[in-house]
Structure 1
Amino acid sequence: MRSAHIPVAAILLIAALASGHAAMPAPYAVAGPLREPTIFGAGVISTGDHESHAAFTPDGKEVYFLKNAPGFDYWTIFVSSWRDGHWSEPTLAPFASGRYKDADPFVTADGKHLFFISDRPVPGKAHRDLDIWTTDRVGDHWTEPRHLDGPVNSEGQEWYPTVAADGTLYFGSDRPGGKGKTDIWRARLVDGKYAEPENLGDAVNTAGDEYEPFLAPDGRTLFFMADNREGRGDSDIFVSFLCDGAWTKAEPLAGGVNSPGNEYAPKISPDGRYFFWSSTRSVMRKLADKPFDTQAYLAAIRGPGNGLGDIYQIDLAALNLQSKCGKTGKN
């Protein structure tokens, strides 16, 4: 039996090979190590508004993300493109009119499909809730979104769709049969159709709320967001490893990712180098070690890092991910 130790280098290599874009640095790449949480796209992507939930195309040249109302009670999807060495001014994504609550974009590894959630009306469904929708890339355009058929969408809410390398769909839902109010589920892709969703079980789900799953390219490292877990209060990001067909007990993610604010929307960049997530942490206290004048203070509270919500990135290697499978276990 081979070792079940999963160094972060393995995740990096698998992601790079899967993306096919390892030779050319992606637009989100930075010079030198990125060992501390760093605001992504400050001033353009992350601003004084509430931004979150970044999703990149495989070449990294487009980023889809949310622009949220200050109270996080309304949201829609924006897009920015890398042009002439800069991120373009974000605009509404072509499939998001701003009329509905569209959120949680996920672009598949081949760049041909984009999954998201929406409360837009579904023909034949009596009430509106958050369901999973998808759109296909045809040339430079996305097709008209379609409601995901099959057993994935329920009478409850569905959140944060993530597609694994084998086609399995991971998502959060408050559908009946869970361990708590909201759990992490997965639906395997069988002959082109999604099977009945499976609950990921007690190691991942609790009586609290687990929402937003992201499965790393290695297929064995699961990141997710949880509320009120282990008495931690605000939402944090946790990690669990698949060992011998079962998930290890989830633990809070290290590396400075979690903060006194809310952490959510975990993702690994298509080139496998960076961990992205969203946070409501504030840098205001760090700035307060010297006096402000009026303009400097107003610029700080109206800019990225004001605590409303921003997109962050860090080197994946800085998280020091180590499998809990043991030296002789199988994956």
Structure 2
Amino acid sequence: MRNLSAFIISVVIISCNKPETSYLGQKTPGTTPELFAPSLVNTDSVELNAVFNNSMTEFFFTRIVNRSFLIFHSELVDSKWTAPTALQMFPDSNVNTTAVDMTLTPDGNTMYFLGANPENETYSAMSDIYRSQKLNGKWQLAEKVGYPISTDEYNESYPIIVADGSLYFISDRPGGFGKEDIYRAQYLGDGKFDTPQSISQVVNTPLGSGDTYVAPDESYLISNKRSLDKPGLYVSFKKDGNWQPLIYLEEPINSEWTDFCPYMSPNGKYFFFSRRYSDPPESGWAGVTKGEVYWVDASVIFDLNKK
């Protein structure tokens, strides 16, 4: 018994002294949004996005460097997170690349993201959905996901992969309910998808939808609505297979600036979002002066489903 007690005490001591590795070693937030990983993710540059893989061993975010949107990557190695480095998604010869708004398959081996034709001006190029495979521990150059996901005439953006491998994304293609709709494409296997369908008139507003996160089990979504009377992030919960009316996320999540890039931690406990400051506000990315990544306890969202 004495030996057992000594063993238990030693385990407790080791556990207490073990460095915290979850979430890049950051102290988790409460119900007030906080900057995520200051000086590591949030710097003097423009940053956005925050995505962990399901095993919490890889982390991705986006940083603008020399007018290019670059996906930065950190990996947990020997209980330590590596310094974030940019992933190469396009050949060296391409300039003004756009690789942003990433999402991962459940096994963590395929990344989908918004990409723009590297030969065009970054802020005016048509956007499409690209994907990169992880082979032998290294992320490969990306390829465009072909039709019926990406098109030559229309924009496709903000991909989200759910638990069964199906793909949600935003597109201004014709046939939807609004200017830009949330579409869902059923996964068919072998990297292929069925014809995308606009999901619901309840969540696809006439003036369009922005960045939209969908839960892995498709039980709720969080969407940026820039065109409503109160622009910002909204949540919709699914009940009996139907999307319910959108609920506005009050301050301090939404602000006078642009709040976008919604995403959840793999365990659904923490909500990540980005905030963009532009001068003037309507100038968009061309006038951006600052971009930050925030996180907050997800109860501030789920509690809305209890009202």
Structure (1/2) with the larger strand percentage: 2
* TM-score in terms of structure 1 length: 0.72
What's the CA shift string for 1:224-265, capped at 9, x where partnerless?
A: 112121x124xx111112223221111212473211111111
Aligned to 2:30: 34
Aligned identity (percent) is 29
Cα shift readout 1:122-163 (whole Å, capped 9, x = no counterpart)? 9xxxxx621111111122112332221331112201111101
Equivalent residues of 2:24, 2:81 under 8 A apart: no
Tell me the C-alpha RMSD between the 2 structures. Answer: 3.0
- Show the counterpart of 2:179: 181
Q: State the alpha-carbon separation in 2 of the partners of residues 28 and 57 from structure 1.
A: 13
> Does the alignment pair 1:314 with 2:306?
no
- With over 3 angstroms needed to count, the CA separation of the structure-2 counterparts of 1:38 and 1:146, relative to structure 1, is same
Q: CA, structure 1 residues 240+42, in 2 after alignment: closer, same or farther (shift >3 Å)?
A: same
Change (3 A) 1:80 1:191: closer
CA contact (8 A) 1:171 1:211 kept: no
Is 1:66–2:65 an aligned residue pair?
no
Matched, 1:172 2:170: yes
Aligned to 1:288: none
3-state SS of 2:290 partner: coil
Change (3 A) 1:52 1:250: same
Q: What SS is found at the alignment partner of 2:300?
A: helix
* CA 1:202–1:190: 2 relative to 1, 3 Å: same
Q: Answer yes or no: is the 8 Å Cα contact 2:105–2:165 preserved in 1.
A: no
Identify if the C-alpha distance between structure 1 residues 69 and 112 changes in structure 2 by more than 3 Å, giving closer, same or farther: closer
Query: Aligned runs of 1:1-331 on 2, under 5 Å?
Result: 26-28=22-24, 30-31=26-27, 34-68=30-64, 74-82=68-76, 88-96=82-90, 99=95, 100-120=97-117, 129-154=126-151, 155-192=153-190, 193-229=192-228, 231-233=229-231, 236-254=232-250, 256-280=252-276, 308-323=290-305
Q: Give the paired residue count.
A: 270
How far has the Cα of 1:321 moved from its partner? Answer: 3.4
Three-state SS of the structure 2 residue aligned to 1:308 is strand
Query: CA offsets per residue over residues 69-106 of structure 1, 9 Å max, x none?
Result: 69xx7522222335677654432213255722121111
Query: TM-score, normalised on structure 2?
Result: 0.77
The DSSP-based 3-state class of the residue aligned with 2:32 is: coil
Instruction: Give the structure 1 partner of residue 14 of structure 2.
Output: none
Distance verdict in 2 for CA 1:254–1:59, change over 3 Å: farther
Distance 1:264 1:42, change over 3 A: same
Take 1:243 and 1:313, find their aligned partners in 2: how far apart are those partners?
Answer: 26
Q: Which whole-Å CA distance do the structure 1 matches of 2:277 and 2:301 have between them?
A: 18
Q: Greater relative contact order: 1 or 2 (C-alpha under 8 angstroms, separation 6 or more)? A: 1
Cα 1:86–1:278 change in 2 (3 A) is farther
